[in-house]
Structure 1
């Protein structure tokens, strides 16, 4: 189930990525950062944790606990849509952060540019690609047309 694997990759990356990338001298331990910037960085790391856990929950929750299989499949599709939304929010908001006035993706003493761009875009795409693959699977796969 490649689709669930892609959704899980996004969820696990949301849980671990912010702590790996931010709990160091460039963010949390940066002596140049004011306390309020640290507060918002902590908020962002915790948001990644929450979104990642929600992504994993909805990715792996199954809908077959109903008397009707069609109701179970509908619930599973709904769970997967929810997982894709949760699985992409952190990455999409990361992409949008550069649009705020005065925003930089990297503090000047640590580099320049937007090194997170392709990672954020790729993990957001993994969420929606995983969702799409799972929906195709649940709909019976790709069928040949005659």
Structure 2
């Protein structure tokens, strides 16, 4: 039982991150404050659409690499893919004039997206760490059997 939990826990964590990555951008942005905001120029809508599509694409890639069997690097690759959306979200604050929200929204919390970025990257790191721990323990067990 412990072995199957060690196998599935990182995968379940990455599956949750993948689902959130693929779905939540549409929940947050496919509304009157973003996609249907009459004050947004076409190019802003283009990049918003690109970002929503990127979230779906990265979510599906994360699922594929998380559950695909065979290669030893699948969870490493899945972790890197899962982190991509959140690393780029965090980096967006460094662009000149970038803000977390546009009118008509008004929030008093600066850098509010970091409340998403930090937990999501922490979950990815936990999943990767658990997988590394499982693989190391498995190799150690195989070495003991070989002796």
TM range (shorter): 0.7 to 0.9
Instruction: State the match for 1:83 in structure 2.
Output: 78
Instruction: State the match for 2:69 in structure 1.
Output: 62
Render the CA deviation track for 1:70-95: whole Å, top value 9, x for unaligned. xxxxx23x111100010000011001
Structure 2: which 5+ residue stretches go unaligned? 1-7, 141-147
Q: Report the Cα distance in structure 2 between the residues aligned to 1:4 and 1:102, rounded to whole angstroms.
A: 38
Q: Does residue 52 of the first structure (1) align with residue 41 of the second (2)?
A: no
Structure 1: which 5+ residue stretches go unaligned? 64-74
Instruction: State the match for 1:68 in structure 2.
Output: none
Instruction: State the match for 2:25 in structure 1.
Output: 18
Q: Does residue 135 of the first structure (1) align with residue 119 of the second (2)?
A: no
Q: Report the Cα distance in structure 1 between the residues aligned to 2:113 and 2:91, rounded to whole angstroms.
A: 12
TM-score normalised by the chain length of structure 1: 0.83
* 1:96 paired residue among 91, 94, 109: 91
Q: Report the Cα distance in structure 2 between the residues aligned to 1:56 and 1:117, rounded to whole angstroms.
A: 24
TM-score normalised by the chain length of structure 2: 0.83
CA RMSD in angstroms comes to: 1.4
